[in-house]
Structure 1
Amino acid sequence: LSNRVHALKLQSVQDYYRYLFNEGGLNSEMSHIEETVTTNKTDFFREIDHFHYLRDSILGNGMRRPGTKKFKAWSAAASTGAESFSMAMLLAEHALAYPGFDWAILGTDISGRVLEQARRAIYSHNTIEPVPAALRSRYLFEGQNEWQGKWRISPSLRNRVQFRKLNLIKEDYDVDMNLDIIFLRNVLIYFDPTDQLTVLARVGRHLAPGGHLFVGNSESMIVRMPQFCQVAPAIYRKEP
């Protein structure tokens, strides 16, 4: 928080705390605090086994809800969008094989700064290295001239992925119900045990029966909900 101390011309972090809690500064500072203290680590196809399961077991085996017109996914800690666009590539590939397949993705995060990066969908060469070559050639465009070394996600994916600010600690989520998959990965570890269970319960309500919840591999032991059955490491299916 030292950057905020300097920006407000205060002398110490203790002065900053006093400004927040005794002088009414918390509301005006909250957006700055969110940007400063949140962790935004992300990669394309991070924890690759989850994407293999999505491709092979959910999409490949036709594990779809009967009568569903659109396959809907939520990346609940989207950061700069790498997770959302990794999912989008697999859903787009499935749509190429099955032209009637319709899909959409919502990515949410507490940080408006990283969401702006996600909406721009421009990434460095090092960032997109985990993307398989076949998917890279189809869904990523390499920049030219002053944009050399940068890559942008194709419009065919950007048009189907929306990004929105959302705080998982808030009571109500502006997110569709009856989703097919939810990626809630590598964010629960930053909550205390009570908030972990609360967030899981709230997120779980947005998943359709038969839908799948993905958490980070280090978070698997956190998921303890009677309606959810573990089907693979850190992957849970919501039972009817």
Structure 2
Amino acid sequence: MNKIPRKDILVIGGDFNARIGTRLNDSEWAIGNHGLGDRCINGVRLLMFSMLNNLNVANTWFKHKPCHTYTWRSRDGRTNAQIDYLLVSRHWKSMIKDSRVYRGADTGSKSGSDHLLLKSKVRFRLSSKKVSAPRRILDTTKLKLPEIKETFMLELTNRFTALQDNDREFKTNQCSSQQSGVPSCSQLFGPYSSAQLQTYMSTHTSHTKGIGQLLALRHEVQRRL
């Protein structure tokens, strides 16, 4: 249980053969106020298991008629009990909107099961992770070269001169002209190479001798103060 990531939605359901009853005090946060019956030994074990693993007993949190709460009925129809439960991660408790028993559901066997169908309504709120396109860093230092600067200015002049002939055409094609200008800039400048990217500390500073002793000395002075 400890190896399951917290972000995962953990749901455990089944016949626990345990009567957990209702909440006796605020420390029993794993169960609600709408359980049935008196707690038995298996109910205590189920409660401890739920609290140790941060689980909530979903079908004890919603108020319904007793006939929509008990999950087991004896063959003679005289004894009813709530022994089937749905456990959900405490972190995802709010996704359970309702939990109740449906007595008329087909249990699948020929003679019918003595357990009733326990159904819960679940609402998920999931969001997709937005993936942004990688940012391209252009090597604008090439503008210092006269031939690159002249070519770039000529390219800009030609593009905006053609667009200024018609204002309506300019508004329509503004977005496309900006997108089409990016490849031209990429061809003229090119991306930064890893060798051109410099760190915040210069090579001279990073190789200066004695900087380690100065930092250690300052730490010692601060400690003594």
Determine if the TM-score, normalized by the shorter chain, exceeds 0.5: no
Write 1 or 2 for the structure with the bigger share of strand.
Answer: 1
TM-score of the aligned structures, taking structure 2 as reference length: 0.19
Scaled by the length of structure 1, the TM-score of the pair is 0.18
